[in-house]
Amino acid sequence: MTNKASVDELIQLIVREPSAGSTCSSSLAQGPWEFDTATPNYGPGASSEDVIPASSPIQGVLPDEYKTASVEELHERIVAAKQTLGDSVIILGHFYQRDEIVVHADYLGDSFQLAKAAQAHPDAKAIVFCGVHFMAETADILSTPEQVVILPNLAAGCSMADMADIDSVNECWEQLEEIYGTEVDESGRVPIIPVTYMNSSAALKSFCGEHGGIVCTSSNAETVLKWAFERGQRVLFFPDQHLGRNTAKAMGIPLENMPMWQGRKPLGGNDEQTLKDAQVILWNGFCSVHKRFNVAQIEKARIDFPGVRVIVHPECPMPVVDAADEYGSTDYIRKAIAAATEPTTFAIGTEVNMVQRLAAQYPQHTIFCLDPVVCPCSTMYRIHPGYLAWVLESLIAGNVVNQISVDEQVAQNARVALERMLAAKPL
C-alpha cells in the first residue's frame, strides 16, 4: 500500500477477496444502497460474518438522482446546501469516514470529541452525524429537545454495539446480583458497577445510568474504570472485551480476575467462585475491524521497517496491544503522528480510511495500515456523499429524513451515565 492512493482507489482494486473470515469488496465504496434496503446485513467488509439483530433499522430507498450523480456533482450540491442552511446545521464526522464526507464536516473527531461537539451547539437546529447509529443516539441524548439529529444512512450501525442487547445484560445483572447481594464494603463501595463503552445502544447507556454506572470511550477508559472502582468493588464491562481487558490490564488487574461473560449461558459460562473473585467481568463483544490485526503483522512490520513505530487502537486484541509500541483512541493516534518531529515510519492498527488520510496529510512520514487487505468498517462506509446530499437537500425542502430519536425515558438515564463520563476527571 502506498501513501498516495485514496481508500476508494485501493478498495476498487479488491475483488471480493476473502480474508480473515470476512469479505472485502469494492461494491460498498461505490453503491452502499445496494446493500441497505435488502434484508438487514452489514454488507461486505470486516463485519460480514457478524449477525445483525432483526430489529436493526433499514434504510429506505435513496432517490435515484443521488445514486446516479457523480462524486463531483454531489460535492457541489453538498457545498451549496450547507451554504443555504448556514448555522442552522452542523455536520459531525468521525475519523473513519471517507474523505468525500470528511471534507464537509464542521467537526471531525473521535467518539468522545463528537459527543462533546453535539452538546456544545444548542443553537443549531439540526445535527447531521456522519458516523454510526450509537453516535447519533448519543448526540440526540446530549442535544436539546428542539434539535434534530440525523444519521444520513440508517444502515450505519456498529456490529460491536449490536453484540450486547438490553435483555441479555438484564439477565446477566440479575444473576450477578444474586451472587453479590447488595451489601457495601467498608469503603462504602457497592458490589458491582456497570460500565458501557460508548459503542452501545442508548438502552445500555440507560441501564448504566439507572444502576449507578457510567459510559466510557477509548480515550477515557482508564479514568472511567478508576471512577467505577472508587464506587464499586467490581465492574461489569460491555460490550468490548478487548477495550475492557487492555485497560484493566494496564491498571494492574490480573487476567485471572477478568472472566468473560457469554450471554445466554448460565453464569455467563463461569462458576460462582470465579465471579466472586472477579474484578472486571468482560462481555464477549469485539470489533470485527480491529480483530483483523495480529501479532504476525507487527512482527513483519518490524522486519520490513526497522525502527517502525507501531500504534494500535485499544479495540485490538490484547496480544496485539502488547506487541505494539503504543495504543490509544483514534484521536490519540492522530495526535501521536502530528507530534512526530522527525520523519518516522508508522504502522497503524485501526480503520483504513483514517490511516490513509493521515498518510496523505503527513507525507514526511511513511504511514501504513497493519492489515494488508484493505477492509474498512463496513458501516462507517455506509455514509456515501449521496446520502449526505439527500439529507441536507431534504432539510432545505423542509423535510427531516432519517431522524434518530431516543425515547425520553431511555434518554433520561442514559444522559445520567453520559454526564458522569463527561464529568469524570483523571485521578
* Interface segment toward ligand 13P; rule CB under 6 A; list 39-47, 98-106, 216-224, 316-324: 216-224
Residues 334-353 touching ligand SF4, rule: CB under 6 A, are 351
| Chosen from ligand 13P, ligand SF4, none, partner binding at 379 (C-beta under 5 to 8 Å by type) | ligand SF4
CB 324 within 8 A of CB 337: no
Among 100, 110, 137, 393, binds ligand 13P (CB under 6 A): 110
| Chosen from ligand SF4, ligand 13P, none, partner binding at 159 (C-beta under 5 to 8 Å by type) | ligand SF4
Site string for ligand 13P, 256-295 (x = CB under 6 A): -------------------------------x--------
Distances (CA, A) of 359 to 102, 338, 356, 375, 417: 15, 11, 5, 17, 36
Distance of CA 158 to the CA centre of its chain: 7
Among 24, 78, 105, 289, binds ligand SF4 (CB under 6 A): 289
* Interface segment toward ligand SF4; rule CB under 6 A; list 29-37, 102-110, 287-295, 299-307: 287-295
| Chosen from ligand SF4, ligand 13P, none, partner binding at 23 (C-beta under 5 to 8 Å by type) | none
Among 26, 168, 199, 402, binds ligand SF4 (CB under 6 A): 199
For residue 366, give the nearest of 401, 342, 390, 399 by alpha carbon.
342
| Chosen from ligand SF4, ligand 13P, none, partner binding at 329 (C-beta under 5 to 8 Å by type) | ligand 13P
Residues 38-97 touching ligand SF4, rule: CB under 6 A, are 47
Is residue 380 near ligand SF4 by the rule CB under 6 A? yes
* Interface segment toward ligand SF4; rule CB under 6 A; list 84-92, 200-208, 282-290, 304-312: 282-290
CB of 55 to ligand SF4, least distance (A): 17
* Interface segment toward ligand SF4; rule CB under 6 A; list 30-38, 142-150, 224-232, 377-385: 377-385
Is residue 353 near ligand 13P by the rule CB under 6 A? no
> Would you say 285 or 385 has its CB closer to ligand 13P?
285
- What does the binding site for ligand SF4 look like in residue numbers (CB under 6 A)? 47, 132, 158-160, 199, 287-289, 315, 351, 377, 379-380
